Structure 1
């Protein structure tokens, strides 16, 4: 698999995206479970018609661009494919000596946001640490671990040790990144509305900011048509987060609302096939949570 990824990494981005669009539709047509989940999640958010159909191909492009992003030589800068919108927020936070928590939904190219930050800012402000869940399959774990070891980019597992690693990075004034719409393990989340339906939601995003004084910045990487690259969009997280244990559900709901606002900007680039409403093993479902979606 590493050999295949290295070979594909030499392909031009536009060709990888052409292949990805076809792969997205093929997966949608051939997998009834994936198609049903995709349709249910998009319908829950009120998304249909052209944006919903466009998201089918975008999901495939998310996969086929990974070899380029993960395996290209370090000498091939990702910045030549990236433009920025709102990057003054990064400069302002670092000028105040704050760490930064980037909140990125499963939308567009979420890999490119961390890589672009690492190339542009890590030399001056330290690496960006990204949260990830280790893959269960050994070959995939080896691939991901190898691919994400890039200059200026550190990876933290979704464990207590990984959380401590992120806390230390923020207290040094560095940046961290996570996907707050990723379903957390049991006991690491609370139930909070997401597009009007209860979703098990991580509490880590709010805790990181509250315990370190870091700036919260919303970030996502828009995938441009025809392989023309990406736009990294940055905006403020403009809701106050309640403190204390009783405020965890309110903080999670505020984070979900921020993710919803981003997704509504470009619903055709959200990963609607992601199993957002699943119930982690050991977690009691709440009203509106679907028991058939229970997973490890």
Structure 2
């Protein structure tokens, strides 16, 4: 993937939302020509449909290596789980994807990658933005706005060929109340972030991802040995709550979310005393713990 920063003549048209500095991001994150750490390249583009779709295509073509990072100032066809749309004004958030190739880790443990990314994003933002963040299983980032829990970000992981996974992240940074796509959404600014400068926020998140990915990979993907399972559980707002799981096949399950198991599944205890692990589905928080 060849670095190429694209911009237009309105680079400083919104002084509240300055553009990312691709060259500075590369200097900060790409070490020793791409051979001294995870990241081999950081590319910032002005506009694209979906950074995930673009990076998956590059990986399948063999033109992107592990550690390639693609960042967009604006996504016109951003996607969440179940192909839900993710839209936001230009330069109002962080929209990026990273190619990972955990070939030393059994494929059966690759399902932890979106949860790992959530832990890394939450940790990076807590340090850099000073915002208390929480994770809604499996892949939503929550912040508190006016005492109310709101979604400020999401994660989408997609296979890229036989040996790769692209993890995509979308984070609302400076969205104002009138710009929110739905009333339940939030942003770092609305949650009282100490800074909304996207350059240091992105650096913090990517360094956190590099750290957690390295730990997990060194442990052979073992979520317990790497500390990932315990850290995810500690930051998961879903645990201890009564939830409704909307499952494939138009089935739903109501009960208390009691654990995240070794496969990254949410374990729900029903009133009948059954503990059922859920690996896929929409989770609705019905009431606080």
More contact order relative to length (CA 8 Å, sep ≥ 6): 1
Q: Which has the higher helix share?
A: 1
Q: TM-score, normalising length from structure 2? A: 0.29
Q: TM-score, normalising length from structure 1? A: 0.28
